[in-house]
Structure 1
Amino acid sequence: MPVDYNGRWEMVSNENFEDTMKALDIDFATRKIAAPPPPDEDDRAERNDEVNFTVGEEFEEHTKGLDNRKDQGEGGGGGGGGTTLVTWDGDKLVCVQKGEKANRGWKHWIDGDLQLHLEITVLDKVCHQVFKKA
């Protein structure tokens, strides 16, 4: 049975975010806006991102909150992109994004009931974020 990801999670660490965003060709200004605040800084507005999908079904993803890229399938027009597929691998949610960048995707998992991990990959870059349940 997959783990329960419901609830509010607060970031406690964020490693290699900047380099991972650069590998995605995210411009400087957008990287600064998208960067989460340091764990001890709570005066920034709360930001929620939402992606709706069905696990095991491939879909086209629109990243309007980050780089305004709309995946249009491999070989599609309008700036490319690709398709996204999220599956369960044991208790980990694994996302593979095919198209414009090699080795792109993310993994989510919970360590016990205490910490949620997010590992974002693109090319040879890996960002690892850790959250605690609020």
Structure 2
Amino acid sequence: MSLEDIAQRWMQFWQGGSLASFGDLHAPHFIDHSAAGRAADREGLLQGIRDLYAAFPDFHADIDLLAVDVSKGLVTIRWSATGHMHGRFLDAEPTGRLVGFSGIEIIRVREGQVVDRWGEWDEPSIREQIGAAPRA
């Protein structure tokens, strides 16, 4: 499977896809370098995805840009997404509003599994859209 195929498969978790293959795609020693206050292992990332879908059940992400560095096993993914807020998120109560998200992910792949992840998103914009207090 190519790095691009793995990245496409990985992004399916952020598009409401089944999480059944999450453990198969992530190495047991997976490290989330942008853990956002949660455990930096694959269980922490999985819980983060579940929490996101609890708040935004219709969350859907699209890939805007995909860049592959085969020699380093790295894939960079620029994405944009939307979802209606129906659960608590970033300490804000549900609003029902349609929220726009954007971010970037870098994943490192070894032997067909994701071993590292770095991710950033536009949290100030999200906080503004949902009425959450700015991060201190």
Q: Answer whether TM exceeds 0.5 for this pair.
A: no
Q: Report the TM-score, using the length of structure 1 for normalisation.
A: 0.36
Q: Report the TM-score, using the length of structure 2 for normalisation.
A: 0.36
Bigger relative contact order (CA 8 A; separation at least 6): 1
